[in-house]
Structure 1
């Protein structure tokens, strides 16, 4: 079986939804399950002219000057960045799997921007055309909750010990957060590999 490369991604935005707001920056760490690194990708994006900022989000950004600087300096057009990112993903060995924490936020943004600007998706499925990722991706938030044996209302990335992050602080700078989440993924895969295997039908990964 081919060894997957996990593309652990964190995004920063000026609001809660790609339907109304813009993605400001994102970063990805390509990592194998054993912790082997296969590179990183960072980008800062120009805001979309057809979107607005969210007041609550911008008030929060005002309290994070260093992270705001990292998320806005040296911005490039998403029409340039997203195809470059898709090419980088495809250049990596083996099947690639998208990872985010949580998938419903970071994954939603990446899926929308890749669809809009690169003719592909973050989440694979029964779609025609270019597919750079395999399967539906991994929600690190969900994985962390279930493998810790915690009840649903006690899930959360902040509940994990600092050792899981490799003691990398969550700074809201996309690359810092992606690196920390990549370390978390490796730790959780160790927990998963220690569980009794469950056999079933053939994988439906595409």
Structure 2
């Protein structure tokens, strides 16, 4: 069905990737993150990237840290020139609020990346990723979008089979998955546009 003014997707999708030094927010730290804001047509509306100081009292998980030592460029990108967390989150909130609405947080998968970003937002700002019905001042709109789940639905495969390496590289804009947050966020943002186009094609009448 062709898009009209009444059914055009007006949302801005804030596609986000994080790099963390362990699995548990609080005990471990989010060392860097990046968000790329895109329309459903794949038009980029802005990007945000930051390296964070570790949380007070936190320490890297030994297994995660050992993995990063086998990817030194990713570790360097996630830890070089870190900034104080409250300052970064204040800037991030202002950046998100500067985007035209409605705005939806998007990550792959949202259960992991979204949990970390929500923890940091609620600890250092008045906001969250998914805010309850009685929170009137909201940073994001809608329920959030799990890019991994959406990809599984569009391509008709189990969610467990979807990963950065399981879909064609061109769907990510041929942007390598480097574990540098801004690279991976841009790849995921490109993927979202591809999936939206494929979903629209599936809805088009045959013939």
Decide: shared fold, TM above 0.5: yes
Aligned to 1:203: none
SS at match of 2:101: coil
User: Which stretch shifts more, 6-15 or 185-194?
Assistant: 185-194
* Counterparts in 2 of 1:94 and 1:57: CA distance versus 1, 3 Å: same
Are the equivalent residues in 2 in contact too, given 1:6–1:98 (CA < 8 A)?
yes
Report 1:161-176 matches (<5 A): 161-176=168-183
Q: Is the contact made by 2:51 and 2:80 (CA closer than 8 Å) also made in structure 1?
A: yes
After superposing the two structures, state which structure 1 stretch, 86-95 or 143-152, moved more: 143-152
| Further displaced range: 182-191 or 2-11 | 2-11
Aligned pairs (5 A) from 1:47-126: 47-126=54-133
Give the 3 Å change call, closer, same or farther, for CA 22–152 of structure 1 in structure 2. closer
- Residue 190 of structure 1 is matched in structure 2 by 197
Distance across 2 between alignment mates of 1:170 and 1:152: 19
Which of 10, 13, 18 matches 1:6?
13
Structure 2 alignment gaps of length 5 or more: 1-5
1:152 Cα offset (Å):
4.0
Contact 1:12 1:71 in 2 (8 A): yes
CA shift at 1:91, angstroms? 0.5
Determine which of 10, 33, 45 is the counterpart of 2:40.
33
Distance of aligned partners of 1:195 and 1:127 in 2 relative to their CA distance in 1, 3 Å threshold: farther
| CA RMSD, 1 decimal | 1.5
Distance 2:111 2:186 in 1: 19
For 2:43 and 2:51, the matched residues in 1 are separated by 26
Structure 1-normalised TM-score? 0.91
Which position in structure 1 is the counterpart of 2:153?
146
Quote how far apart the aligned CAs of 1:184 are.
Answer: 0.4
User: Given that residues 24 and 47 in structure 1 are in contact (C-alpha distance below 8 angstroms), is that contact kept between their aligned partners in structure 2?
Assistant: yes
State the Cα distance separating 1:153 from its structure 2 match.
4.0
Measure the CA separation in 1 of the matches of 2:134 and 2:164: 31
TM superposition shift of 1:9: 0.4
Shift of 1:155: 2.9
Residue by residue, what CA displacement relative to the aligned partner does 1:93-127 show, whole Å, maximum 9, x if unpaired?
12110000111111111011011111101123314
State the secondary structure of the residue aligned to 1:41. strand
Q: Tell me what 2:3 maps to.
A: none
| Counterpart check, 1:160 vs 2:167 | yes
